[in-house]
Amino acid sequence: MSASWLLRRLALILYTTFIVSVLVFGITQALPADAAVTLLGENATAEALNAIRERLGLGDPIWWQYLRWVGHAATGDFGLSMRTGQPVGPEMLTALGRSLLLAVAAILVMLVIAVPLGMLAAVRQGKLADMATGLISYLGVSFPEFVTATLLAMLLADTLQWLPATGYVSPLEDFGGALRHLALPVLTASLILVAHVARMVRSETLDVLHSDYIRAARLKGLPERTVLVRHALRNALLPVVTIVALDVGYLLGGIIVIEEIFAIPGIGRQLMVAVTARDLPSIQAGALIMSATYAVANTLADVAYAVLDKRIRYD
C-alpha cells in the first residue's frame, strides 16, 4: 500500500462525495413541495412564505445555491435546519454517532453468529446442518424488517420482559442502560444481515475447499483439521471484510424502519424525517455525511483486505 494509493483513495472519497452532493442536491431540488410551505404547514401566508424564502435564499438560481452550499459545507457549515432551527452539521454528526454505535454492535453480533454458521454449513455441505443453517438464515432475510422488529419486541420485551422495548440511551450517560436499550435493535439488524454473510461465508468456504491448493494440501497428506483451519478458514473469511463494509452502508441508511420503531434518532431516521419535512439542509448534510462515512468504510475494508491478503498490493 503506497502513499500514492492512499492519496488516490482519498481523492476518490472526495469524488464520491462530490457526486453524491450533486445527486442529492439535484434530487432535493426536484422534491415537490418546497421547504417553506412544509415548514409553515397549514399556517403559510404569502408574506410568511416570502420572508422564509428570502431568509433561506431559496429564490436564488439553483447553481448558485449549490455553490453556496458546497462552499459552506467545505468549511463544515451545513447551515441551519429548516425544521428545528438547529445547526445541521452537529445534529447529523450526533445522529451518525448513534447509527455507528448501532452498526458496529450489529456487525459484531452478526459476525459472531454468521461466520461459524457459514463454516458449519460449508463443511457439512448437503447434510442436515447445512439445511438447518440455510433455513435459519433464509428466515432472517425473508421478513420485512419492521415485522422482524415487531415480533422480536413482542417476544423479548412485551411477553418475556427481558429487554426494554425501545428508546435510545446514550452510552455516555448510562452505559448499562445503553447496552440494554441497544439489544433489540442490534438483534433485529444483525438477524437481517446474518443470512447474507452466512451465505457468503458458506459459498466462499466451499470455493476454497474446492480450490487446487486445498486439493494439493490434502494430497500432501495434511490432516483434515490442518487443512480446514490453516488453509481454508483464513482465505474464506477474506471476502467477508468487503461485505462487512457494504453492510455498514446498509446499517447507516437502510434501517430507517428499525431506527423508527426503536426510537433511535440515528442518521437514517433523521434523514427520513428531513425528507418528510423537506428540510433541505438536513437532507443534504445527512446524505453527504452518510456517504462519506460509507466511502471511508470501504477504503478501510480495502486496507484491511490488503493487510490480510498478501497477494493484494495497492499502488
Query: Between residue 264 and residue 283, which ones bind other proteins under the rule CB under 8 A?
Result: 265, 268-273, 275-278, 283
| Contact pick of 24, 107, 189, 301 for other proteins (by CB under 8 A) | 24
Q: Which of 59, 76, 161, 172 binds other proteins (CB under 8 A)?
A: 161
Toward other proteins, which CB reaches closer, 105 or 153?
153
Closest contact distance (angstroms) between CB of 259 and other proteins is 9
Among 167, 175, 229, 307, binds other proteins (CB under 8 A): 167
The reply on whether position 159 binds other proteins by CB under 8 A is: no
CB of 105 to other proteins, least distance (A): 18
51 in contact with other proteins (CB under 8 A)? yes
Q: Which of 25, 69, 78, 262 binds other proteins (CB under 8 A)?
A: 262
Q: Within positions 214 to 233, which residues make up the interface with other proteins, using CB under 8 A?
A: 214-224, 226, 230-231
Residue 280, all three cell numbers: 433541505
- Chain positions 85 to 124 lying near other proteins, rule: CB under 8 A, are 85-86, 94-95
Which amino acid, 212? D
Alpha-carbon Rg for the chain, nearest whole angstrom, is 24
The yes or no reply on residue 261 touching other proteins (CB under 8 A) is: yes
C-alpha to C-alpha distance for 25 and 296, rounded to whole angstroms: 21
Short-list 184, 179, 157, 156, CA closest to 169? 179
Q: Is 240 in the site for other proteins (CB under 8 A)?
A: no
Please report, as residue ranges, which positions from 118 to 157 form the binding site for other proteins (by CB under 8 A): 131, 134, 138-139, 141-147, 150, 153-154, 157
Three cell numbers, residue 164: 426494554
